[in-house]
């Protein structure tokens, strides 16, 4: 089935692994969970020799083990889980993996936007059916969250802080009473949550202050803060892992030279430290410089080389892709990149050589084109 999809959800993509883990899992499982907490941890963080498994389970999410443990444990309690962190730190990916491992369904997702209404969280009506047959359970359209309640699985709420406060507060009763009442119906008008239901929400810490969560809602969530990955080794792992996946998805056969990967990681590390020492917003790039953005830059460069180049990833392409992705504001971002290119990349290309001179050239011409 995953072959027919542009991007298969985690439970489909890793179905085989999940089946295997379920078959060997003899530990107690909370509620109606498909896997025990330890197996879920193993699924997310990968196996080691000492786990004594017949097959290797690759690591899928890179980060501190305690974050995963705390997240799983929260879902086993009666609180919702709120993953909070900078954009691109892997919050949604972790949420997807957890849902897939716990209930084999990660698609019950509500996307929080300024236009999200309470209907998206609770239920809405099929108007034509209501006209034809009147209001009934049949003519009701349950939201993903309500479906999750009915089936006792995990519901996901992406970008919780993007939706308005009244919509957010609709979650309070769902999380505390664990039912939704449907006053329009005379009978069968309450949907109770089945055991195993919980909510994983994600929130962007850069959106703080837009629609702050109410204290009542905060109380019903456990917060797990996911930091930006600054460890170069794990970052390289993440980028490699995700890029391979992308290449597979696009059916592209192209090698990413390790030297170019190093250049990419080094550039991001430099730009991050520059942003950390900046004193005003004008002195730092608008981008959060997350790992996801690195992957974006690399993907862009790969696609460009594949379709418009000679099917070899070159430093020049990588540089122009990096400039193109990070220069969002003109002239602020361009000025910062110009400063970086001439203050850091140029000396480095003289000192280290390798692919750096080509990277320097590519960046220069990209900045010149955009200026």
Tell me which residues touch other proteins (CB under 8 A).
37-38, 41, 48, 50, 65-66, 69-70, 72-74, 76-77, 79, 84, 203, 205, 208, 213, 215, 218-219, 222-225
Q: Can you tell me which residue has the tokens 């003899």?
A: 26
Q: Which two tokens stand for residue 237?
A: 């792992």
Nearer to other proteins, 117 or 222 (CB): 222
Pick the closer one to other proteins by CB: 133 or 218. Answer: 218
Smallest separation, CB 54 to other proteins (Å): 19
Residue 287, exposed/middle/buried by CB under 10 A (0-12, 13-18, 19+)? buried
DSSP 109: E
Give CA separation, 202 vs 40, 210, 223, 316, 359, in Å: 19, 15, 10, 36, 36
- Measured from the CB atom, is 204 or 290 closer to other proteins? 204
CB of 238 to other proteins, least distance (A): 19
Q: Which is nearer to other proteins, 65 or 137 (CB)?
A: 65
Strand pairing category for 80-85 and 221-226: parallel
CB of 308 to other proteins, least distance (A): 44
Please count the other Cβ atoms lying within 10 Å of the Cβ belonging to residue 167: 23
Rounded to the nearest whole angstrom, what is the least distance from the CB of residue 290 to other proteins in the complex? 18
How many Å apart are CA 234 and CA 236, to the nearest integer? Answer: 5
Bin 207: left if φ > 0, else alpha if -120 < ψ < 50, else beta. Answer: alpha
The answer to whether residues 334 and 288 touch, using CB atoms and an 8 Å cutoff, is no
Least Å distance between CB 286 and other proteins?
22
End-to-end CA gap in the chain: 46
Closest CA to 72 of 50, 55, 90, 95: 95
Q: How far is the CB of 177 from other proteins (least distance, A)?
A: 14
Task: Find the radius of gyration of the CA atoms of the chain.
Answer: 23
Residue given tokens 């390289």 in the structure block: 236
CA–CA distances in Å: residue 35 to residues 25, 29, 173, 275: 7, 6, 28, 42
Q: Which is nearer to other proteins, 84 or 191 (CB)?
A: 84
Q: Please, which residue, 70 or 249, has the CB nearer to other proteins?
A: 70
CB of 293 to other proteins, least distance (A): 23
CB of 246 to other proteins, least distance (A): 30
Nearest to other proteins of 40, 149 (CB atom): 40
Q: Least separation, in Å, of the C-beta of 34 and other proteins?
A: 16
- Cβ closest to other proteins, residue 77 vs residue 165: 77
Nearer to other proteins, 48 or 138 (CB): 48
Closest CA to 284 of 337, 324, 232: 337
Query: Which one, of 358, 352, 370, 284, lies nearest residue 318 by Cα?
Result: 358
CA max distance for the chain: 78
């Amino acid at each position: 089935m995953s072959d027919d999809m542009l991007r298969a959800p985690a439970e489909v993509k890793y179905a085989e692994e999940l089946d295997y883990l379920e078959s060997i899992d003899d530990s107690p499982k909370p509620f109606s969970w498909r896997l025990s907490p330890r197996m879920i941890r193993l699924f997310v963080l990968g196996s080691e020799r000492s786990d004594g498994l017949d097959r290797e389970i690759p690591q899928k999410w890179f980060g501190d083990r305690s974050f995963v443990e705390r997240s799983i444990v929260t879902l086993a309690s009666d609180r919702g889980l709120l993953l909070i962190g900078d954009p691109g730190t892997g919050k949604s990916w972790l949420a997807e993996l957890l849902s897939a491992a716990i209930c084999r369904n990660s698609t019950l997702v509500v996307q929080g936007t300024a236009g999200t209404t309470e209907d998206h969280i609770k239920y809405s009506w099929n108007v034509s059916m209501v006209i034809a047959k009147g209001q009934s359970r049949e003519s009701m359209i349950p939201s993903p969250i309500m479906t999750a309640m009915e089936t006792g699985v995990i519901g996901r709420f992406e970008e919780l802080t993007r939706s308005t406060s009244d919509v957010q507060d609709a979650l309070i009763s769902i999380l505390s009473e664990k039912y939704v009442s449907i006053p329009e119906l005379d009978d069968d008008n309450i949907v109770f949550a089945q055991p195993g239901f919980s909510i994983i929400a994600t929130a962007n810490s850069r959106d703080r202050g837009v629609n702050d969560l109410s204290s009542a809602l905060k109380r019903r969530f456990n917060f797990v803060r996911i930091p930006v990955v600054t460890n170069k080794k794990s970052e390289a792992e993440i980028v490699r892992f995700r890029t391979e996946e992308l290449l597979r998805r696009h059916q592209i056969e192209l090698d990413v030279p390790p030297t170019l990967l190093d250049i990419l990681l080094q550039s991001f590390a430099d730009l991050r430290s520059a942003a950390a020492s900046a004193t005003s917003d004008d002195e730092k790039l608008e981008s959060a410089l997350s790992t996801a953005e690195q992957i974006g830059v690399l993907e862009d460069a790969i696609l460009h080389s594949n379709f418009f180049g000679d099917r070899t990833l070159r430093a020049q392409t990588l540089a122009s892709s990096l400039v193109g992705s990070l220069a969002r504001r003109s002239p602020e971002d361009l000025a910062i990149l110009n400063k970086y290119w001439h203050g850091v990349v140029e000396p480095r290309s003289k000192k280290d050589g390798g692919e750096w001179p080509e990277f320097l050239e590519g960046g220069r011409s990209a900045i010149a084109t955009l200026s």
